[in-house]
Structure 1
Amino acid sequence: MEKLPKIAFPIIIAVIIGIILIAKSAVTIDSGEAGVLFETFGDGVVTDEPPMGEGFHIVAPWNKVFIYEVRQQELFEKMKVLSSNGLEIQIDASAWYEPVYDELGNLHQSLGQNYLQRVIQPAIRSAARSVVGRYTPEQLYSSKRDAIQDEIFAETKKILEKQYVQLNEVLVRDVTLPNTIKEAIERKLRQEQESLEYEFRLVTAAKEAEKVIIEAQGKADANKILSASLTDKILQDKGIEATVKLSESPNSKVIVIGSGDSGMPIILGNQ
Structure 2
Amino acid sequence: MDKLPKIGLPIIVILILVIVVLAKSAVTIDAGHAGVLYETLGDGVDPDKEPLGPGFHLIAPWNKVIDYETRQQQLFEEMRVLSSNGLEIQIDATAWYNPVTADIGKLHNQKGKDYLERIIQPAIRSAARSVVGRYTPEQLYSSKRDAIQEEIFQETEKIVKDQYIQLNNILIRDVTLPPTIKEAIERKLKQEQESLEYEFRLVTAQKEAEKVRIEAQGKADANRILSASLTDKILQDKGIEATLKLSESPNAKVVVVGSGDSGLPLILGNN
TM-score of the superposed pair, with normalisation by structure 2: 0.85
Give the distance between the partners of 1:241 and 1:16, measured in 2 at CA: 130
Q: Find the counterpart in structure 2 of residue 48 from structure 1.
A: 48
Give the distance between the partners of 1:119 and 1:253, measured in 2 at CA: 111
Preserved CA contact (<8 Å) 1:78 1:90: yes
Q: Find the counterpart in structure 2 of residue 152 from structure 1.
A: 152
Give the distance between the partners of 1:21 and 1:189, measured in 2 at CA: 72
Q: Find the counterpart in structure 2 of residue 37 from structure 1.
A: 37
CA offsets, 1:87-126, max 9 Å, x none? Answer: 2111111111111111111111001111111111001111
Stretches of structure 2 lacking an aligned partner (at least 5 in a row): none
Give the distance between the partners of 1:74 and 1:172, measured in 2 at CA: 13
Q: Find the counterpart in structure 1 of residue 192 from structure 2.
A: 192
Residues 114 and 227 from structure 1, CA distance in 2 versus in 1: closer, same or farther, beyond 3 angstroms?
A: same
Q: Find the counterpart in structure 2 of residue 228 from structure 1.
A: 228
Give the distance between the partners of 2:265 and 2:6, measured in 1 at CA: 161
TM-score of the superposed pair, with normalisation by structure 1: 0.85
Between 1:77-86 and 1:105-114, the stretch displaced more is 77-86
Preserved CA contact (<8 Å) 1:82 1:132: yes
CA offsets, 1:149-175, max 9 Å, x none? Answer: 222112212221211111112111111
CA offsets, 1:123-165, max 9 Å, x none? Answer: 1111111111222222221122221222211221222121111
Q: Find the counterpart in structure 1 of residue 76 from structure 2.
A: 76
Tell me the SS of whatever aligns to 2:220: helix
Preserved CA contact (<8 Å) 1:256 1:268: no
Aligned partner letter, 2:93: A
Give the distance between the partners of 1:148 and 1:58, measured in 2 at CA: 49
Aligned partner letter, 1:148: I
Matched, 1:62 2:58: no
Tell me the SS of whatever aligns to 1:163: coil
Give the distance between the partners of 2:129 and 2:222, measured in 1 at CA: 71
Residues 70 and 266 from structure 1, CA distance in 2 versus in 1: closer, same or farther, beyond 3 angstroms?
A: closer
Give the distance between the partners of 1:66 and 1:256, measured in 2 at CA: 122
By how many angstroms is 1:57 displaced?
A: 2.8
Preserved CA contact (<8 Å) 2:93 2:174: yes
Between 1:48-57 and 1:209-218, the stretch displaced more is 48-57
Percent of residue pairs identical: 74
Between 1:24-33 and 1:183-192, the stretch displaced more is 24-33
Between 1:140-149 and 1:190-199, the stretch displaced more is 140-149
By how many angstroms is 1:234 displaced?
A: 2.9
Between 1:167-176 and 1:110-119, the stretch displaced more is 167-176
Aligned partner letter, 1:58: L
Give the distance between the partners of 2:15 and 2:158, measured in 1 at CA: 54
Q: Find the counterpart in structure 2 of residue 177 from structure 1.
A: 177
Alignment of 1:117-266 (within 5 A): 117-241=117-241, 252-253=253-254, 255=256, 257-258=258-259, 260-261=260-261
Aligned partner letter, 1:171: L
How well do the aligned residues superpose, as a CA RMSD in angstroms?
3.0
Between 1:153-162 and 1:109-118, the stretch displaced more is 153-162
By how many angstroms is 1:217 displaced?
A: 1.3
Between 1:142-151 and 1:261-270, the stretch displaced more is 261-270
Give the distance between the partners of 1:25 and 1:252, measured in 2 at CA: 127
Stretches of structure 1 lacking an aligned partner (at least 5 in a row): none
Give the distance between the partners of 1:141 and 1:119, measured in 2 at CA: 28
Preserved CA contact (<8 Å) 2:77 2:93: yes
Give the distance between the partners of 1:262 and 1:35, measured in 2 at CA: 116
By how many angstroms is 1:269 displaced?
A: 6.5
Give the distance between the partners of 2:137 and 2:236, measured in 1 at CA: 81
Preserved CA contact (<8 Å) 1:81 1:128: yes
Tell me the SS of whatever aligns to 1:224: helix
Aligned length: 270
Tell me the SS of whatever aligns to 2:48: coil
Preserved CA contact (<8 Å) 1:247 1:255: no
